[in-house]
């Protein structure tokens, strides 16, 4: 394995390790080494069991097998969960008394990508120091434990049932979804079995989309990255609500019968307002720098505290924990109900909203009526090296000039994607046309800098 300079993180990004299958770090050799390094991490913390879940990508079979081999060679037992939502693995950590949880998934990315996410026993993501420790083990050659100490691997056959029961338990006692019609778009991903079951077993009439994964169709024209089929299905079934999961079901968007789409900001608002109404709100809400300014204003009108973290569900989770609060999330649909599970959970979050619809007898539009969004434009610019693009002088000058122009009338945020080779541009302004114009002009500057245009 190539040496790593100091403790700089070479492979871990904002959410584990991710890349194109067949290229570093998503190669069999690297993943074997990573499994061994993760096993050594578990062993040095006196642990003995790791569990592995995955989404439905065809490459998951390959990566699962070599991770398993690496971990058992370090003397760690492995529980194989099969296809499971990312938050299911986080939840099952405690039930199975596991010391480390691994999820093989690239979330909303296409099937050509894959990745590995890590969880500790409390369901939280690894700290940077933990990731650095694993990367230090990656520098060492694999040393297999003596034959009598090699770990064992077994399938956990009831993992799905355990998670379904957990999701159902997050509903308020006495609330039934009977009479509600729900469309669930599973993105041909990890939630394709459990998500429909949860809503059906709570009484809803469920119509299911994109629940026939073939290893290649994950996130293809479906799920949270493309809600067109969901909107059409909600309309054709005259359903009350539609839910769009992503590939590993850790985030969700929602659609109403009028075809309007509701993002993570909307979901956070509904859950927070619902808990306030029921006297169950603990503290306030954590959003991110991307959260719409209207969310902060709407929560403020309800006297609900709101703070922002950096983008990334780990950053949200850390700040929620530091505050001692329960709710946090991202506009993209990662919503954390920390009193239930330590990471974003698309099924649990959407279930809280549908439960509020059932108990209040209100539609999504009615539940979000007090949340008026500031026009916001988000553009993604593909670049070979996002860091170089952001460091370009003309780009930096353009950002500063736009900040000066917007002043108190809007916001601009330009950042590197943590999961894809892109620069993301967000502009907020009370005038939608102005927001679009400013964002487009800034995106063009970034594109020109990428192409070497002066």
Range name among 68-77, 134-143, 239-248, 411-420 with the lowest pLDDT average: 411-420
- pLDDT tens-digit readout, 395-437: 999 999 999 999 888 999 999 887 778 999 999 999 999 999 9
Q: Determine whether 181 is an active site residue.
A: no
**CATH top-level class for 263-348+358-373?**
alpha beta
3-state per-residue secondary structure call for the chain:
CCCCCCCCCCCCECCEEEEECCCCCCCHHHHHHHHHHHHHHHHHCCCCEEEEEECCCCHHHHHHHHHHHHHHHCCCEEEEEEECCHHHHHHHHHHCCCCEEEEECCCCCCCCEEEEEEECCCCCECCHHHHHHHHHHHCCCCCCCCHHHCCCEEECCCHHHHHHHHHHHCCCCCCCCCCCEEEEECCCCCCCCHHHHHHHHCCCEEEEECCCCCCCCCCCCCHHHCCHHHHHHHHHHCCCEEEEECCCCCCEEEEECCCCEECHHHHHHHHHHHHHHHCCCCCCEEEECCCCHHHHHHHHHCCCCEEEECCCHHHHHHHHHHHCCCEEECCCCCEEECCCCCCCCHHHHHHHHHHHHHHHCCCHHHHCCCCCCCCEEEEEEECCCHHHHHHCHHHHHHHHHHHHHHHHHEEEEEEECCCCCEEEEEEEECCHHHHHHHHHHHHHHHHHHHHCCC
Superfamily for domain range 376-451: Alpha-D-phosphohexomutase, C-terminal domain (3.30.310.50)
- The correct answer on CATH 3.20.20.70 for the domain covering 180-261 is no
- 3: pLDDT strictly greater than 80: no
What are the residue ranges of CATH 3.30.310.50 in the chain?
A: 376-451
Residue 452 pLDDT level (bands cut at 50, 70, 90):
low
pLDDT digits 0-9 by tens, 36-89: 999 999 999 999 999 999 999 999 999 999 999 999 999 999 999 999 999 999
pLDDT at 212: 98
- Mean pLDDT over 187-202 rounds to 98
Q: Superfamily for 17-158? A: Alpha-D-Glucose-1,6-Bisphosphate, subunit A, domain 3 (3.40.120.10)
Which of the four pLDDT bands, split at 50, 70 and 90, describes residue 248? very high
- Given the residues 107, 224, 291, 389, the one annotated as active site: 107
Residues of the chain with CATH 3.40.120.10: 17-158, 180-261, 263-348+358-373
């Amino acid at each position: 394995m190539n040496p790593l300079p100091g403790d700089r993180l070479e492979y871990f990004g904002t959410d584990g390790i991710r890349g194109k299958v067949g290229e570093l770090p998503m190669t069999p050799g690297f993943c074997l080494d990573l499994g061994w390094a993760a096993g050594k991490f578990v062993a040095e913390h006196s642990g003995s069991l790791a569990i592995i879940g995955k989404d439905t990508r065809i490459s998951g079979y390959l990566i699962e097998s070599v991770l398993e081999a690496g971990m058992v060679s370090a003397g760690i037992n492995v529980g194989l969960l099969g296809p499971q939502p990312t938050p299911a693995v986080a939840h099952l950590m405690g039930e199975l008394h596991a010391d480390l949880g691994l999820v093989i998934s690239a979330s909303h990315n296409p099937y050509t990508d894959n990745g590995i996410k890590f969880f500790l026993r409390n369901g939280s993501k690894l700290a940077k120091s933990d990731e650095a420790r694993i990367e230090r083990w990656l520098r060492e050659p694999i040393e297999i434990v003596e034959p009598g100490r090699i770990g064992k691997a077994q399938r956990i056959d009831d993992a799905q049932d355990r998670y379904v029961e957990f999701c159902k338990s997050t509903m308020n006692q006495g609330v039934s979804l009977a009479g509600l019609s729900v469309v669930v778009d599973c993105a041909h991903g990890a939630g394709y079995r459990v998500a429909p079951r949860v809503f059906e077993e709570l009484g809803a009439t469920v119509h299911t989309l994109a629940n026939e994964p073939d290893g290649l169709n994950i996130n293809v024209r479906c799920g949270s990255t493309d809600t067109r089929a969901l909107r059409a299905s909600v309309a054709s079934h005259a359903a009350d609500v539609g839910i769009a999961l992503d590939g590993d079901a850790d985030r969700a968007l929602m659609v109403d019968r009028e075809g309007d789409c509701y993002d993570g900001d909307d979901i956070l608002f509904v859950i927070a307002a619902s808990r306030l109404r029921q006297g169950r709100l603990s503290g306030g809400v954590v959003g991110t720098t991307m959260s719409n300014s209207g969310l902060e204003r709407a929560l403020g009108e309800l006297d609900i505290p709101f703070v922002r973290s950096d983008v990334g569900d780990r950053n949200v989770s850390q700040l929620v924990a530091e505050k001692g609060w329960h709710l946090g999330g991202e506009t993209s649909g990662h919503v954390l109900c920390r009193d239930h599970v330590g990471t974003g959970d698309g099924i649990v979050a959407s279930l809280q909203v549908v439960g509020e619809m059932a108990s209040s007898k209100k539609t999504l539009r009615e539940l979000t009526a007090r949340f008026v969004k500031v026009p916001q434009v988000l553009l993604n610019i593909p670049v070979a090296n996002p860091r170089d693009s952001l460091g370009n002088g003309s780009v930096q000058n353009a950002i500063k000039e736009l900040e000066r122009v917007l002043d108190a009338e809007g916001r601009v945020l330009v950042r590197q994607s943590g999961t894809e080779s892109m620069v993301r541009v967000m502009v907020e302004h009370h005038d939608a046309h102005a927001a679009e114009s400013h964002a487009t002009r800034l995106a063009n500057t970034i594109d020109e800098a990428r192409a070497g245009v002066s």
